[in-house]
Structure 1
Amino acid sequence: MSAIRTTLVTIALLAAQFTTAHSIAAPAGNIPSLEVAVKNLKNSGFQGIVFAARGDKILLEKSLGAVKDSKQTFRFASITKQMTAILVMQEVEAGKLQLDQPLGTYWPDYPNPQARAATLRQLLTHYSGLYNDMSNPAFHMLNANSGDDIQKFATGICASPGNAAPGTKFDYNNCDYIVLGALLEKINQQSFIKLLQQRIFTQAGMDSASYYTAALPDAKQHIHGSLGGKPEPEVNFASYGPAGSSFGTLKDLHAFDLAFINNKLLSQKSRDVMVKPNAVGGAIGVWSYPFKGADERNPTIIVERQGWIAGVRILNLVDLQTQNILILVSTNGDLDLSQTWANQGPAAEVLKALILTK
């Protein structure tokens, strides 16, 4: 499983308890203060962590329900895709890759001939037509797969027959980014893990961030969640590779957002290309849309990235102009964190309150 804006799913309502947090000035108008908005979020059944900041100034940090410590490590899941997309854009900046060139230009012997025709942009935006690994639910389960060989996955399961010609159908899947990660390894002659560490974690100051491997498919001290009202199943987090295998703390994710906002990872020109939305809000490794919840006349542009594996979901919302940052880490895998773009869903009220907080 992995995060994406999809149709609403059934929400399992769970009890939650608050811990202490920073006090926030109330915004004007009918929109509640940040504290009240988070209280309403708690009453709706959300459990996990809520984090709000404006640039490097933390406005609120709360642990709710089963998560007692907001400093715990958690899986970043598909937020890893944003990191992989940045690595690809770095290669575009360096002149080593071009977004609208087909995969076959750089990987002429890729085992799936149809996939060779998919452009890098199509891979980055899930229009490649590649085989969808999520159609095989057992692939990422620990008892079915304990490997983490990106090249093997890219040329194996991800090279299976696809379900559409490149460019004809949106189909969210992990193989797009596993193949991109394998391509990054090939053109750099360096492991994806090292590229991620050197170019993202170190550059952004993500001191505790790391990457699941076959030797470390999980860690007991990390945040875990529930799915279907039961403890989440065991998952081989390493098998998601460049599509979902990174992890870290809230501090790390905040540092990543700040680095993205402040152009520490890409030039502003490249970042602008990355976040430019298509007709349905899809961009390169992220989604981008106007959010009108706080002021109908002056919508703010939100860059969104979600992550979801098993019982933990993450919603990362960033306004590049105001530097407002909202992060939700949910330990209820059944709770849909999408629909913020439509001014609905668990995050919408909190985001409104953040925008109007003085």
Structure 2
Amino acid sequence: MIPVAARSTASAGAPFVATTIERRDLGPKDVLIDIAYAGICHSDIHTARGEWGHTLFPLTPGHEIAGVVSAVGSEVTKLAVGDRAGVGCMVDSCRECEPCLAGEEQYCVKGNIGTYNAIGKDGRPTEGGYSEKIVVDEDFALKIPEGISLDVAAPLLCAGITLYSPLHRWGAGPGKKVAIVGLGGLGHMGVKIAKAMGAEVSVLSQSLKKQEDGLRLGADAYYATGDEGTFETLAGTFDLIVSTVSATVDMGAYLGLLKLDGALVNVGAPEEPLAVPAFALIGGRRSLAGSMIGGIRETQEMLDFCAEHGIGAEVEVISADRIDEAYDRVVASDVRYRFVIDASTIAG
């Protein structure tokens, strides 16, 4: 086993402390990545605070990982020592079911194996990116192209692919009007990516307080959903709406913003069930859908696309001793737009 410095939490809501975890020795298909940066995703917070059910404590979160390959197994062909590499939300899957064979490992019938808070095929709990190194099968490692610095690349491994996947699948591009609901860690990536795809992009947010940011990031228009006239003014406007918010919203009102055959795709996950009025769907042959991350193939496609278009996340880099503070600030929506941990500070 390989001892690795990490930051872990011992129980729901407990502070993060410096500790040592163990990574497996390299197998023939494994790569060892020296982590440079690890993004903080809201999923990390929900898991670390026990808000999404069972958590395997002690927990080392982090599934937005960017670094450099420092060793490879004897059969590795995808990456070489010195390559820039990343790890996203999963580190394995069954590799046998229909989704896996189609390159959609995120929808593995048996359940993909998460980068943290999961049990790997070796029977040990997986440990995430709040650490100095990670060992991963080459099939679940990504190449980070030149042209994206590692700090702004890290959040692409979750936030970036979470928005790229639905935008790609539902055809965001020239001639399409796309709305992104919420301008946060996910939403700001949606604005950048949809604009680079060639779509006309609008932001729908509760207020106009982030309007200047939204327009700077590439939005063509910015609307406050708290204004009474917004939904009436924009009725029947959009081909695609991607909602990044985890709050319960008036689904009928948002569906009413879609054109004929438009789609509303949820990537946020509200705790309460969403009430969907049937006539808001059938009246315009509209679709309501959901999407999560992408498979490994699509994630690599996203990274290459972002490098080609000069896209990275908007980040605030922090030292590891500020993780608890960062969690509180994320919950308070006090970050623009993603915290990223400098892994050189993990050991303290």
Q: Same fold (TM over 0.5)?
A: no
**TM-score, normalising length: structure 1:** 0.23
**TM-score, normalising length: structure 2:** 0.23
Bigger strand fraction: 2
Bigger helix fraction: 1
